[in-house]
Chains A and B, each alone.
Chain A
Amino acid sequence: MNEYRRFPRRIKTVVESEGDHHIIEIELPEHEAEVLPQQEKLNVIGHEIPRREAVEKVTGSAKYTGDYRPQGLIYGKLVRSSKASALIREVDLSEAEKMPGVKAVLSLSRDRVNYVGDVLGAVAAETEEQAEDAVRAVRVVYEEERFVVNMDRAMRENAPKVLGQENLGRPVEFTRGDIQSGFNQADEILEGEFKTQIEIHNPIEPSTSMAIWGADEILIYDATQTIDITQEWVIRILKSIFPDEDISDNNLRLRMDYLGGGFGCKIGPCGLETIAARLSKTTNSPVLIALSREENSLDQGNRPDSYQKLKIGAKRTGELTAIELEGYSSVGAASRGSDNLSPAAREMYKCPNVQLKYQGVFLNAGRSRACRGPGHPQAFFAFESLLDDLAEKIDMDPLDFRIKNYAEKSDGDTGRPYSSKGLMECYEKGAEAIGWSNRNQTAGDYAGDKKRGIGMSSLVWTGGAGVPGSVVEVDLFKDGKVNIRSGVQEIGTGTMTIMAQVAAEDLGIDIDDVNVQIGDSNYPPGCPSYGSLATASITPSVRNAIIETLRKLYPVVARRYRVSEDKLESANGVIRVKENPSRGMHYRDAIKNVSESKITGSGRRGPNPRDYVGYTFGAHFCEVEIDIITGRTKVLKYVAAHDSGRIINPLTCRNQVHGAIIQGIGYSLTEQRIMDNRTGRMTNPNFLDYRILPITEAPEIDVIFSSTIDPVLNSLGVKGIGEPPRIGVAGCVANAIYNASGIRVTHLPITPEKMINGLKTRKEGSS
């Protein structure tokens, strides 16, 4: 049992994960670090420090999960369904077993498959190519059934029932105030129907696991966003398969040095871990399973599509009076709820009357999963589009309209206060940076074949406050160097670097003297890399761990200054007398007086404050150019203004915003999963036909951070950034396209096809 998993002093607290809220019990920290000063310039925190693994990564020496090639490694490949819905009459592995190089075959004993790519079994062979050949030699006898792979068809009455029940999942409903009286108060009411597409996460590194089932330890290298959660699940699954084996967190270890992106599709087990482990057990060899791009597209999750019917009412003076939303998202062949389509309607603006209902729709296709800001980009695309149309209808500047409905408290100004909200500054600075006043006063009123326009979107990420529970261990060495250690992941955001920055700040040392050890389930439990919560979760733990570790040197300092230990405090690595701060010793000097070679301590993060809601905000602006001959949209300039509290490292933080904007433009203009109704197959499970944006189309991106430092959430005043910059992009781009061309596209992605059709309709309408 990992000792940190014992919780002696427990408290119940609410945590947010990927937009959902749960109550958990946590252990309180012994001592909490002092809140960092708001105004003072700090020594390391807030500085632009290149990520520590940068050279390793750009020179290719950084090891990702698939880069480990231990002695005797063999390769696993999965046997997958080529049918969208079928009963399995037989999986004949006998031919595969006889193929050259094959070491093991495995049947998962499935009696039916629910989508193309569904896993039936696996083989392991000496080379990847032999494994692939063996998979092709597996004979599967299907008894095909009717299937449905697109949401519009799945909602029809006579549609095949994907999970043997109605294709509509249980709805989520929310009501605030009285919707009817809200619409009665409105001077103008607009309704719109919006559709968004299915997005594949497409991290550059597809899902990968490598297992070594040894005598003393089951070691699994795994590409995961959640080392601890994945470990727990893998143990649970393996124990159910091998009830007689002793499998626990004492002997099942998960490791990962670097993750090549995740965006949500690597939360929890990817399914490869236990298959690799079983093949390794059978063959007595290390087994690597690395998915192809196609497999990753079919079977590792996606952002669900959405169909949203939205209705908004407002007074002529700009106050929102009512918002009504009916939404659907297809969740694949999994009993899973819809993405949360509520945040724009429910949270973003002051509005007393809101009624929402949204539900999942089942399909014979790979399941949806949390994808960078789940629900939010879909919701904001629809809402911000209709909001702009409404602004036009009441003849109000879209920015003024948004400011008019600025909410100071959560739940549309009806709930608890926000811990901080720097959105007003984002509106002001963002509008100035894009040149808001230069936009077309009349949509489409721009001469020539290449029309330019400017648009905007607000955004809120209903999360980002971080979660309690993560533990950090600190070693202080005699030469002043330190190790900090926790089972968190380096997903690519610079987690190691900011942990080192915080440690260097609080210890008053050079950042190069801090060694960061992460990515191992044998380390104290960290936090997941999802929900934009890692920074706000792990950095307070680093600070508390340093406090606890320095306290172990208090006896030395107390003796030296002849005071009792309770008279001491620590700041920037100096342990000093509270009443007389000039009397103090840096830990480097104090540690010389102890006999141990190092001092080790640990600390954990406390709960979030009960009386506040910790969300992150932003305002996006962009300028686009539309070629009305070719229908192509190019985003020329993008301004992303964000309130994410204190920014620990502006360099890595901007980097995340850049990535999100480019990914978000791809979502707005080019990316979409396409399913064929007749074959039930995805037509574009590759990077040619599934178009992520090429770097040549990355616009000039101006990132602005608000000066807000959160005063209550945690001792650093930080909030998350990973997901927020994805949320506003599609609405912002769609609004800029409208401003440029006068064409309102309500269905993502906004391809040349849709623009050409829109331009044609507009031309015919005006002539």
Chain B
Amino acid sequence: MKNFALLNARTLDEAVSSLGTDWNEAAVMSGGTDLIGSMKRYIQTPEKVVNLKTVSGLEEIRSENENIVIGAETKIAHVASDSKVSEHLTALSMAAGNVASPQIRNMGTISGNICQRPRCWYYRDTEVPCMKKGGIRCYAVAGVNTYHAIYGGGPCHIVHPSDTAVALSAFDTTLTIVDKYGTKDVPFSEFFVLPEEDASRENILKPFQVISKITVKAPGDNVKSTFIKVQEREAWDFAVASVALSMKMEGTACREASVILGAAAPIPWRSEAAENELTGKNITETVAVAAGRAAVADSTPMTDNKYKVELFTNIVKRAVTELV
């Protein structure tokens, strides 16, 4: 690991004023479960680490008007066990409860989970000069791409690693981003960026910005949600495929639907085609199957990940069936 300076920030102001304009100047640390490993492998080599865990007031889950507000430094375990979250944002509660292992859920935070770097094994190998690290090539294309993207890939083909980001995308979610110039609210759907826009990053955060809170509009009682994650082993694993589904129901009819695919694309991937199959329909087995098929209709799998197409078809169908 490269030597670095550690700043235990006490306030958000102190934190953001310590950040720089270059990623190598300073890195923001929440739980540290990703950053420290990445630094040990020299994937990230910041001069300074700004610790947000020491900032008070960022670890909370509260109701505010119609919203549920989750502080940026709230532990994933806390999100998973909170009763407001499990009641109103079931998919998020399930996703948080499925992250990695108990130890990592106890250390890791919600903002850290959303901002973690991809698990692509070419990106994680210091010796491989891939596009995400500033190289000219995505090694997954001609390499082993079993776990890579079937949507939105190119020129880099990572999948976004976060489970909670997939669930949060199924709700009306807003992120609050802070820098030394002020505070702004960003719709969650505008937070993530595709590699065609910037292959070196996964979201719009600048080196001098941090997330302070996540605001989710509590859906009405007629909205139900669920999250399904396929992983190769039962614990301590990233998704091979996941889906977050929320549906606003009137009897057996679906009025609105959100279908978000995880581990499908470099960002949480909304499938409008699947949503269209559900919206305005009486939810039957046939509709569920159609939604599953629609979810992958225009996917572009790589050499080793065609099975994901079948997998998404299956889990979207299961998610729909389970919700009604």
The answer to whether A681 and B314 touch (CB under 8 A), given A694-B235, A696-B235, is no
The answer to whether B143 and A696 touch across the interface, beta carbons within 8 angstroms, is no
A629, A676, A760 — which one has the most chain B CB atoms within 10 A of its CB?
A629
CB of B204 within 8 A of chain A? no
Question: In the docked arrangement, what's the CA distance between A691 and B311, Å?
Answer: 20
Q: Which residues of B contact A693 (CB under 8 A)?
A: 233
Q: Chain B residues near A694 (CB, 8 Å)?
A: 101, 233-236
Determine whether A688 belongs to the interface, using a CB cutoff of 8 Å to chain B.
yes
Complex CA gap A557/B119 in Å reads 74
Chain A residue contacts of B142, Cβ below 8 A: 677-678
Chain B contacts with A in 207-248, Cβ cutoff 8 A: 228, 230-238, 240
B151 contacts across to A, CB distance below 8 A: none
Give the nearest-CB partner of B237 in chain A. A691
Bound: A681/B310 CA distance, A: 30
CB closest residue in chain B, given A749: B232
Once A674-B144, A753-B307 are accepted as A-B contacts, the answer to whether A681 and B125 lie under 8 Å apart by CB is: yes
Nearest CB in chain B to that of A759: its residue: B310
Q: A82-B127, A752-B311, A756-B307 are in contact. Are A629 and B234 (CB under 8 A)?
A: no
Interface residues on B, range: 20 to 34
Contact B125 A683 (CB under 8 A): yes
Complex formed: what's the CA distance from A723 to B139 in Å?
A: 39
How would you classify the secondary structure of chain A's contact residues: helix, strand, loop or mixed? loop
B144 with A752: CB separation less than 8 A: no
Could you tell me if B121 and A683 are in contact, using CB atoms closer than 8 angstroms?
yes
Closest-by-CB residue of A relative to B230 is A630
| Among A689, A697, A753, contact of B121 (Cβ-Cβ < 8 Å) | A689
Q: Is the pair B314, A757 in contact by a Cβ cutoff of 8 Å?
A: no
Decide: A678 near B143, CB < 8 A? Known: A753-B307, A757-B307, A760-B310.
yes
Which A residues are in CB contact (< 8 Å) with B311? 630-631, 752, 756
Quick check: is B128 within 8 A (CB to CB) of the other chain?
A: yes
Q: How many angstroms between the C-alpha atoms of A681 and B126 in the bound complex? A: 11
Hey, which chain B residues are within 8 Å of A564, CB to CB?
A: none
Cα(A82)–Cα(B125), bound, Å: 11
In contact, B128 and A681 (Cβ under 8 angstroms): yes
- Asked if A679 CB lies within 8 Å of chain B CBs, one says yes
Q: Is B1's CB under 8 angstroms from A129's CB? A: yes
Q: DSSP class of B's interface residues: helix, strand, loop or mixed?
A: loop
Interface residue? A684 (CB, 8 A): yes
Q: Are B230 and A679 in contact (CB under 8 A)?
A: no
Docked-complex contact A752 and B240, CB < 8 angstroms: yes
From residue 124 to 164 of chain B, which have CB atoms closer than 8 A to chain A?
125, 127-128, 139, 142-144, 146
B314 lies within 8 A of A688 (CB): no
Q: Given A129-B1, A630-B311, does the pair A691, B232 have CB atoms closer than 8 Å?
A: yes
A683–B146 Cα distance when bound, in Å, is 12
Q: For residue A752, which residues in chain B have a CB less than 8 angstroms away from its CB?
A: 230, 232, 240, 307, 311
Interchain CB contact under 8 A, B234 and A679: no
CB A765 to nearest CB in B, in angstroms, measures: 15
Q: Is B259 an interface residue (CB 8 A)?
A: no
CA distance A629 to B317 in the complex (A): 9
Residues of A within 8 A of B307 (CB): 631, 752-753, 756-757
For residue A632, CB closer than 8 A to chain B, the reply is yes
B318 interfacial by beta-carbon distance below 8 Å: yes
Q: Say yes or no for B171: interface residue by CB 8 A criterion.
A: no
Known: A679-B139, A756-B311. Is A697-B125 also a contact (CB below 8 A)? no
B122 at interface (Cβ–Cβ under 8 A)?
A: yes
- Interface check B49, CB cutoff 8 A: no
**Residue B315 interfacial (CB < 8 Å):** yes
Q: Which A residues touch B237, using CB under 8 A?
A: 688, 691
**In the complex, what's the smallest C-beta–C-beta distance from A425 to chain B, in angstroms?**
34
Q: Which A residues are CB-close (under 8 A) to B240?
A: 752-753
Q: Chain B residue with minimal CB distance to A684? A: B121
Which residue of the partner chain A has the closest CB to B128?
A: A679
> Any chain B CB within 8 A of the CB of A707?
no
With a cutoff of 8 Å between Cβ atoms, the chain B residues found around residue A674 in the complex are 144
Q: Is A572 an interface residue (CB 8 A)?
A: no
The interface residues of chain A lying within 8 Å CB-to-CB of B101 are 694
Q: In the complex, which residues of chain A have a beta carbon less than 8 angstroms from the beta carbon of B317? A: 629
Asked if A251 CB lies within 8 Å of chain B CBs, one says no
| Cα(A633)–Cα(B74), bound, Å | 34
Q: What is the chain A residue whose CB lies nearest that of B141? A: A678
List CB contacts (< 8 Å) of B70-117 with chain A.
101
Annotate A680-713 by CB proximity to B: 1 below 8 A, 0 otherwise: 0101100011010110110000000000000000
Do A677 and B234 touch across chains, with their CB atoms under 8 A apart?
A: no
Among A683, A689, A696, the most chain B Cβ lie within 10 Å of the Cβ of A683
Report chain A residues within 8 Å CB of B122.
676, 683
Closest to B229 in A: A630
Docked complex Cα distance between A382 and B191 (Å): 50
Which residue of B233, B310, B314 is within 8 Å of A670 (Cβ)?
A: B233
Closest chain A CB from B80 CB (angstroms): 16
Return B148 CB to nearest CB of chain A, in Å: 12
B315-A629 in contact (CB<8A): yes
Binding site for B on A (CB under 8 A): 82, 129, 132, 136, 449, 628-632, 634, 669-670, 674, 676-679, 681, 683-684, 688-689, 691, 693-694, 696-697, 751-753, 756-757, 759-760
Closest 9 CB pairs of A and B: A694-B235, A683-B121, A629-B314, A630-B230, A753-B307, A756-B307, A696-B235, A697-B234, A691-B233
A-B contact pairs, 7 of them (CB 8 A): A449-B318, A630-B311, A679-B143, A681-B127, A688-B238, A696-B235, A751-B232
